[in-house]
Chains A and B, each alone.
Chain A
Amino acid sequence: MSQLRRFFRRLDSFLRPARAEDELAREVAAHRALLEDEYRLRGLAADEARVAAARAFGGVELSKDRQRDARSFVWLEDARRDVGYAARLLGRSPAFTAVALLTLAVSIGANTAIFTIVRSVLLRPLPFPASERLVFSYDRFPGGGVERAGTSIPNYIDRLTAVSAFESQALYRYAGFRIGEGAAAEGVTAFAVTPSFFRVLSVAPQLGRPFAEQEGREGHARVAILSFELWKQAFGGDRGILGRDVRLSGEPYTVVGVMPEDFTFLNPVVRLYVPLTFSAEDLPEASRFSQNQEQIARLAPGASVAQAQQQVDALNARIVERMGELKPLLLNTGYGTRVVSLSEDLVRRVRPTLQLLWGGVLLVLLIASANITNLVLVRAAARTRELVTRQALGAGERRIARQLLVETLLLTLVGGAIGLVAGAGSLGWLTSLGIADLPRGHEIRLDWVVVAFVLALAIVQAVVIGLAPLAQLAGLNFSTALREEGRTSTAGRGAGLIRRGLVAVQVALAFVLLISAGLLFTSFRQLLAVDPGFSAEHVLTGSIGLPAGRYQTEAEQAAVVHRALAEIRRLPGVISAGGTTFLPFGYTNASGGILVEGYTMAPDESLLSPNQLRVTPGFFEALGIPLRRGRYFTEHDTAGSPPVAIVDERLARRFWPGRDPIGGRIFKPESADELSAPIPEERWMRVVGVVAEVKLRELVAGEDTRIGAYYFPYAQSPEHHVSFVVRTSGDPMAAAGAVRQAFTRVDPELLFEDVAAMPERIERTLHGRRLPMLLSLAFGAIALLLAAIGIYGVLAYQVSQRTREIGIRMALGGDAADVLRLILREGAVLVGIGLAAGIAGVVGLRQVIASQLYGIGALDPVVLTAVGATLMLTALAACAIPARRASRVNPVEALSAP
């Protein structure tokens, strides 16, 4: 009982310390008064009695401390006192506190933002149950320039039975639908998926049901599943939507389900799911090499990616064996399949970049820590007398140590909290810079792991920063410290070395960061300067989907595109316009193998699968793709006229080396069978032109670069999805409205979507590089600033400590210039050592850095020189202020100062 009672009394005492504290003071005073009385009775004078009483009573503060310990909870009480004391002390030096807090907030904020991205994109599991078992499986023809294709339906069907390492498999394919009527109509991006899709992902609709197996067969009634967002937005979240018919691109579909709110697969733009239908029974074997679907699969429990890969390889080998005459062709293309972990594959391109950024931001944290450590050291040295006095008054060494730690902990936690909030806030700003474009970018959000990580960083930082002055304190001789009246740096040479070492480290780290920033910046500028081969300026782009119900025949499709183009060309400010099935730097693209008449492939030469564009007249003109030989397409190239084609210079060189391709003929096989069958005369396309090679997918050869390109007239092979390129005389986006209306005039059902100026499209492909570049520039700038503060702090401290020495030097005949040189030399040595270490660091890291660069080496002399000079100049400026102060020391004042 008494124990419990004591607990509550202690708690009360902790919560209401003032009463107990008054009581204690009163009691101690009474005690001493009684002692004094006693001494007076023994015959001492009043003041002697007081001194004797004080001596007899002993350390008042120590007694009080012990009583407090017993009265309340020691650690709680101490923590409160320490925090209060630390807060008062920090408040008394606002400049130090502000600089330290700002430094902390910036470094922790940057770490919060980057770690949030790293965690969301690289570390957090995909938002599907047992997502580590999800894989992509894709076919490839590396020899033909196709590093990555999808999966064909026959391959998928074979794998369903042959690959036991897959528990379930599914195909999906992008599709587009128009939803709503008239002016309210809008385009919706959809996935056509096999009914197994939701089973593979292990996600069920929150309302209704997934697709039934038979709904994936051709000819079955049309059904659809809505995303939560589309359900809310287009149907007001009406629960009665299930079983209702909705019009998708004019066709009736029955809604059977609504997905959960947080469900997104790969791309948040996808808001609708329909079954991918085919009839397994009458699939032509020829479609085996139409890899137009993407395949995902879930590994069976216990199965590995390697096992699945093995089984798929074995199946592929059996398939190739059956191919007869096609077998050598296939082997030459290096045909194969890759099974890769879904989560790893999604982020494969950004992983190194993000890791590098993460490393960079940790360097920023290190620099910040070094900086604050230095500030704290300088402050601790200035506080030696205070600390020594406190120790003399009976504060234990552990007590002082704890006090120092509490101070830095308070500082880092407050700074960390500010940083956390700022970092979280900066995510919105980063979104505008394009982090949402990162793979899994829509999943980027702060979570408790980020908060815990950042908190841990702040605490580690606090301990490291707090330990430095402790180490300094440990070597302190208290009595000499008091005697010397703080004239010299009592911390001695050791602490001075630490401080200067920290500055050199800062300079070195800043150098590494600045070099990275400089290289990424230069690399990005090189990229921007890459010529796509056509003139992107003033070009407006966008796409339409021809409603299947209204434009069923190829003739109807060709005709409406022709009418729309005529309408667009009539618009004021439009110079030229064309249509294409493959929009450069857009989302739709295609490639396909070709055979060339009279060209004999070497025995081991691969079939090529170059970029394939079906374009209308006006396409080359609108994009300004230079004609090298022959002619562009004209209005006379129609379904009724002989098939024609245009090749780019790359293909021309490859298939007609040293000859004129004009008049040559190429054949585009529609299926694998046609590769070996005799080619019908009417299917040959005659080459009528050669155009310059242009960039179609990316400015830099990435992993998805096909070899060369060939073009043939849209009118001879139309398609439902058409993109348009419109060259305008002014701002292309200003013409967007007029172009949209031109389409509606032709047919109100034609929606001009995915509208963007071409330069913007090209730049979008660089977003993945722009964000890291901007971030590394920011890191570099922060590092430079922090290093400057560090240099300034240390030198300023040295000058203040050496005022007497400087005074003596000047009294002995040294002039101001000597002193200036003295201090500058001190700074230059620090910066020099830092730079040398920084260069060593860059040399060590050059391979990591080089992987992120384009058109520039990691040890580029221009960047090295520029960064070195920037750092030097900044450092010199930071040295200059204390050096000038030193040179103005008045010897008389310096020497007569106490």
Chain B
Amino acid sequence: MSSERAGDRVELLQGTLDLIVLRALSTMGPLHAYGLAARLEQVADHPFTLNQGTLYPALVRLDQRGWIRGTWQKTETNREAKYYAITKAGLRALGRQTERWRRLSALVDKLLLHQG
């Protein structure tokens, strides 16, 4: 669990992406990487293009932790794609991560306000 607590910036950002992916999968149901990327672009307030280079490592990480599981399926356009679905462990982790994120952002907000 240490990496989620790690204070260093990169880890934090990775954790954020993990959280976003988990959240997307829990609300949207199983998605393939392309679909995920499109969804992330869509929900962002201002268009932020997600580099595939960061999405794939996140997927591997989550899969290896047992939080998501990928299965090969056909798309509506009859293409082959790997669909990722959130697992029970993933849902639990999402709960924990969301809580953590809220606390963290609250803290950051407070800090920013104080300084402002």
Enumerate chain B residues within 8 angstroms of A323, measured Cβ to Cβ.
none
Check A63/B1 contact, CB under 8 A, given A5-B66, A30-B32: no
User: For residues 1 through 25 of chain B, which have their beta carbon under 8 Å from a beta carbon of chain A?
Assistant: 1-3
Within A31-45, which residues are at the interface with B (CB < 8 Å)?
A: 31, 33-35, 37
- Give A63-83 as 1s and 0s: 1 = Cβ < 8 Å from B's Cβ atoms: 110110111000000000000
- Chain B residue nearest to A57 (CB atoms) is B52
Q: Are B79 and A33 in contact (CB under 8 A)?
A: yes
Q: 8 Å CB contacts to B: which residues of A580-635?
A: none
Residues in B neighbouring A70, C-beta threshold 8 A: 56-58, 60-61
Q: Is the CB of A30 within 8 A of B79?
A: yes
Assembled-state Cα–Cα distance A63/B53 (Å) = 4
Q: A27-B33, A37-B79, A70-B61 are in contact. Are A3 and B56 (CB under 8 A)?
A: no
Whole-angstrom CA separation of A2 from B52 in the bound complex: 24
Neighbouring A residues of B2 by C-beta, 8 Å: 3
Which residues of B sit under 8 angstroms from A10, Cβ to Cβ?
A: 64
Chain B residues with a Cβ closer than 8 Å to the other chain, count: 30
Interface contact A66-B54, CB-CB below 8 Å = yes
Question: Which residues of B lie under 8 Å from residue A37 when comparing CB positions?
Answer: 77, 79
Q: With the chains together, A13 CA to B57 CA distance in Å?
A: 13
Q: Is the CB–CB distance between A2 and B1 below 8 Å?
A: yes
Interchain CB contact (< 8 A) of A5 among B33, B59, B64: B64
Q: Is the CB of A71 within 8 A of B60?
A: yes
A67 touching B82 by the CB < 8 A rule? no
From A9, A13, A24, residue with most partner B Cβ within 10 Å: A9
Given A9-B64, A34-B34, A34-B75; A62-B53 close (CB under 8 Å) = yes
Q: Taking each of A10, A23, A66, which has the highest tally of chain B beta carbons within 10 Å of its own beta carbon? A: A66
In Å, the complex CA distance between A9 and B80 comes to: 25
Given contacts A2-B93, A9-B64, A30-B80, contact A66 B75 (CB under 8 A): no
A399 at the interface (CB under 8 A from B): no
B100 at the interface (CB under 8 A from A): no
Residues of chain A within 8 A (CB-CB) of B77 are 34, 37
Determine whether A59 belongs to the interface, using a CB cutoff of 8 Å to chain B.
yes
Q: Which of B48-89 contact A (CB under 8 A)?
A: 51-54, 56-61, 63-67, 75, 77, 79-82, 89
| B65 in contact with A5 (CB, 8 Å) | yes
Which parts of A1-53 form the interface with B (CB within 8 Å)? 2-3, 5-6, 9-10, 13, 23-24, 26-28, 30-31, 33-35, 37
- Closest-by-CB residue of B relative to A35 is B34
**Cα separation A2 to B94 with both chains bound (whole Å):** 13
Query: How many residues of A are in contact with the other chain, CB < 8 A?
Result: 29
Bound together, the chains give a CA A57 to CA B54 distance in angstroms of 12
B32 engages A34 (CB within 8 Å): yes
Is A58 part of the contact surface with B, judged by Cβ < 8 Å? yes
Closest beta carbon of chain B to A756's beta carbon, Å: 75
Q: What is the CA–CA distance of A37 and B79 in the complex, to the nearest angstrom?
A: 9
A2, A10, A63: most-surrounded residue (chain B CB, <10 A): A2
Partner of B81, one of A6, A34, A71: A34
Known A-B contacts A3-B3, A10-B64; A59 and B32 likewise in contact (beta carbons under 8 Å): no
Quote the shortest CB–CB distance from A528 to chain B (angstroms): 73
Q: Which of B34, B57, B61 contacts A6 (CB 8 A)?
A: B61
B2: nearest chain-A partner, CB-CB: A3
The answer to whether B53 touches A2, judged by C-beta atoms less than 8 angstroms apart, is no
Say yes or no: B54 contacts A6, CB within 8 Å: no
Q: How far is the CA of A66 from the CA of B50 in the complex (A)?
A: 14
Residues in A neighbouring B93, C-beta threshold 8 A: 2
Report yes or no: B34 in contact with A2, Cβ–Cβ below 8 A.
no
**Is A34 a contact of B79 with CB atoms below 8 Å?**
yes
6 intermolecular pairs with C-beta atoms under 8 Å apart: A3-B2, A33-B79, A34-B77, A58-B51, A66-B56, A67-B57
Sample of 12 more A-B contacts, CB < 8 Å, known A30-B34, A30-B81, A35-B34: A3-B65, A5-B65, A9-B63, A10-B64, A28-B56, A30-B79, A31-B32, A31-B34, A31-B81, A34-B75, A70-B60, A70-B61
Taking Cβ atoms with an 8 Å cutoff, the residues of B that contact A are 1-3, 32-35, 51-54, 56-61, 63-67, 75, 77, 79-82, 89, 93
Give 9 nearest A-B pairs by CB, closest first. Answer: A70-B57, A2-B65, A67-B56, A9-B64, A34-B34, A6-B64, A70-B60, A63-B53, A66-B53
